[in-house]
Amino acid sequence: MKIENNNLLPLSAKPTEVTPPVEKKDDHNGVSSVRSGQDRVEMSENARLLAKARTALGNVDETDSQRLLMLKNQIASGDYTIQVSELARKLMATLFPK
């Protein structure tokens, strides 16, 4: 397929403007260049919290899958009862350690 301009309508309604070429500036706003060998990495506060959480989860023992399955079954069947006094004791020990 060939597109020809038959001079009935110009291809552009307005002539293009000539813009001067942009000069390249070597301004890095105080950032060290890669060639200098002084690379830096900064972590955001969220990244630091995530790293701490991953570290903490790495130290957690594996879950007892049989006990977990038993608890799931008890909850599903409605047989699971919460021992309020034991829950309160553990919460107090966690919130107010000795």
Residue range 36-57, pLDDT digits in tens? 678 888 889 999 999 898 888 8
In a domain, 73, yes or no: yes
- Whether residue 72 contacts residue 80, with contact meaning beta carbons closer than 8 Å, is answered with no
Number of domains in the chain: 1
- Whether residue 80 contacts residue 71, with contact meaning beta carbons closer than 8 Å, is answered with yes
In a domain, 5, yes or no: no
Distance CA(71)–CA(37), nearest Å, equals 56
In a domain, 58, yes or no: no
- pLDDT computed for residue 63 by the predictor: 72
Banded model confidence at residue 64, pLDDT cuts 50, 70, 90: confident
Determine what percent of the chain falls in helix, strand and coil, rounding each to the nearest 5: 45, 0, 55
Q: Write the pLDDT tens digit of every residue in 3-37.
A: 666 666 555 566 667 777 777 666 555 555 556 67
Banded model confidence at residue 89, pLDDT cuts 50, 70, 90: very high
Q: Letter for the amino acid at 58? A: G
Whole-prediction pTM: 0.30
In a domain, 88, yes or no: yes
In a domain, 85, yes or no: yes
- pLDDT computed for residue 14 by the predictor: 64
- pLDDT computed for residue 32 by the predictor: 52
In a domain, 96, yes or no: yes
> Which structural domain, as residue segments, surrounds residue 81?
64-98
- pLDDT computed for residue 4 by the predictor: 67
In a domain, 42, yes or no: no
Distance CA(88)–CA(86), nearest Å, equals 5
CA-atom Rg of the chain in angstroms: 34
